[in-house]
Structure 1
Amino acid sequence: MKIQDRTFIVTGGASGLGLATAKELHKNGGYISIMDMNSEAGETLVKELGTEKAKFFEVDVTKTESIQTAVNETAQWTKSTGIELGGVITAAGVGFPGKIIDRHNEPLAMESIDFVLNINLRGTLDTIRLALPHMTQVTPTHPDGERGIIVMVASSAAFDGQPGQVAYAASKGAVASMTLPLTRDIAQYGIRAVTIAPSLFESNMTKLLSNKVRKSLERVMEFPVRAGKAEEFAALVRHCIENSMLNGTVLRLDGGMRMPSKL
């Protein structure tokens, strides 16, 4: 599927991996619906990209009505531009680490678990289900009858999470495991589903890591021995969109890294 002259929803599109993705798709001719909580960063990005091909919507992905409003307004925008919806990239996510039982024999607060699950998992599902009724009505432009793509974001923690990542790994593992059934649900409409599972990437979350933790992680890296760059993630999103044979799969983007059990 071509990126040019298609509209793409990017949640978490004002920072980190989502920001890099929004810029990459825009650079390749896409129109970008940026959905994020950070209105200042979102409006700054729209000014950078230009108001013709970018719109910002302040969205809390834990609230259905917030997503619904932004999706509906995005759909109205596509009608005014004539640039139909081509895909959804669900890059909104949080880490918020915490062991399931702490040194004082206290269980992890359910509020902390809900916070992670509601953003990483519920927010992903809710965004997809609300966008799909619009995507199924898109005019197929590909000889195969392709209408669009869903690109979800999991994590290497879905496969080898570290201590303190129970809630995070649960949320990202769920995203990874729902990739194939989602693919099967939407195949009849000519819509694909792919998940990318990055390891340690430079982002707002990884900026909080101490030098000790970062060095410990570098010891288990294969090649290259560094955190991934947001632009490398965005390049894979672009390839997922453009390569119609990528469907129903989880792509690890980790340089061969496997997370250690202890830091």
Structure 2
Amino acid sequence: MQVSGKVAIVTGAASGLGAATARVLAAAGAKVATFDLNGDGADATAEKLGGKGYGVDVTNAQSVEDAVARVIADLGAPRILVSCAGIVHGERIVGRDGPASLDAFSRVINVNLIGTFNMMRVVADAMSKTEPVESGERGIIINTASIAAFEGQIGQAAYAASKGAVHSLTLPAARELARHGIRVMSIAPGLFGTPMLSNLPDEVQDSLAANTPFPKRLGWPEEYGRLALHICENEMMNGETIRLDGAVRLEPK
């Protein structure tokens, strides 16, 4: 699907991978709707791109349903969804002070997995009601997994579980939505220079980058955005998770 003139919703768009993806899609001619729990941040990103920003809680059914309805009214029906909203939490299952917090584990699952599915279900429904393009395609949904889905480290039980579930969701969703002409893909980024990592000390960031075979640096958020753009444009890409990681493999800890 060519993105020029298409409506694209990007979540987690106040910063990091989401903001970069919004920039890449807008540069390719998409009409971008930026979603973020931080509504001011979503507005700030959208303002630079000629799009529209929306304060949205991806874990809340009504919040997402209302926001997508507003996008349709403001910009038109969405053809592209890139879900980048996510959080990370580090905690051992059994720590010095006892068992891990169930509330913290649930929150990570709720944002990273339930939030991703919540966006998918509402946007896929909207896409299914649009007229297909010449090839029969109606839309493309791109979710964000992580290499932690495959090599989760000690202390990453919640994060790895949530991202592993996003990966596992990709194929059945693609199979089901194929009848509507909707593709589903996931990207599993490695170590990227997002606020999640950029707040770490420089020596820690350098150590992480040194473990990447090539290139020996943190990924640039725009590289994620460029892959998302290519997935949009390449109709044969469907039902798969693509690692974007410079060949790094996470150590146990």
TM-score, structure 2 as length reference: 0.96
Partner of 2:93: 100
Q: Tell me how far apart the structure 1 counterparts of residues 139 and 156 of structure 2 sit (CA, whole Å).
A: 33
Moved over 2 A (4+): 208-220
Give the secondary-structure state (helix, strand or coil) at the position aligned to 1:10. strand
Instruction: Check if 1:256 corresponds to 2:253.
Output: no
Residue 124 of structure 2 contacts residue 182 of structure 2 at CA under 8 Å; is this kept in 1? no
- Aligned 1:1-263 pairs, distance under 5 A: 1-50=1-50, 54-79=51-76, 84-104=77-97, 106-143=98-135, 145-262=136-253
Question: Matches of 2:162 and 2:133 in 1, distance apart?
Answer: 34
Report if aligned partners of 2:40, 2:55 keep a CA contact under 8 Å in 1: no
Quick one: which amino acid aligns to residue 120 of structure 2? I
Measured against aligned partners, the alpha-carbon deviations of 1:1-37 in whole angstroms (never above 9, x if no partner) come to 1000100111111210000000110111101111101
Q: 1:169 is matched by which residue type in structure 2?
A: A
1:166 is displaced (CA, Å) by: 0.3
Q: Is the 8 A contact 1:217 1:260 kept in 2?
A: no
SS of the residue 2:247 aligns to: coil
> How many equivalent pairs are there?
253
Distance in structure 2 (CA, Å) of the matches to 1:227 and 1:191? 32
**Unaligned stretches of 5+ residues in structure 1:** none
**What do you get for the CA RMSD once the two structures are aligned?**
1.2
TM-score (norm 1): 0.93
Q: Percent identity?
A: 41
* Alpha-carbon distance in 2 for matches of 1:191, 1:220: 37
Distance in 2 (CA, whole Å) between partners of 1:132 and 1:167 is: 27
How far apart in 2 are the matches of 1:42 and 1:242?
A: 25
Gaps of 5+ in 2: none
Q: Following TM superposition, by how much is the alpha carbon of 1:212 offset from its aligned partner in structure 2, in angstroms? A: 4.7
Cα deviation for residue 130 of structure 1 reads 1.1
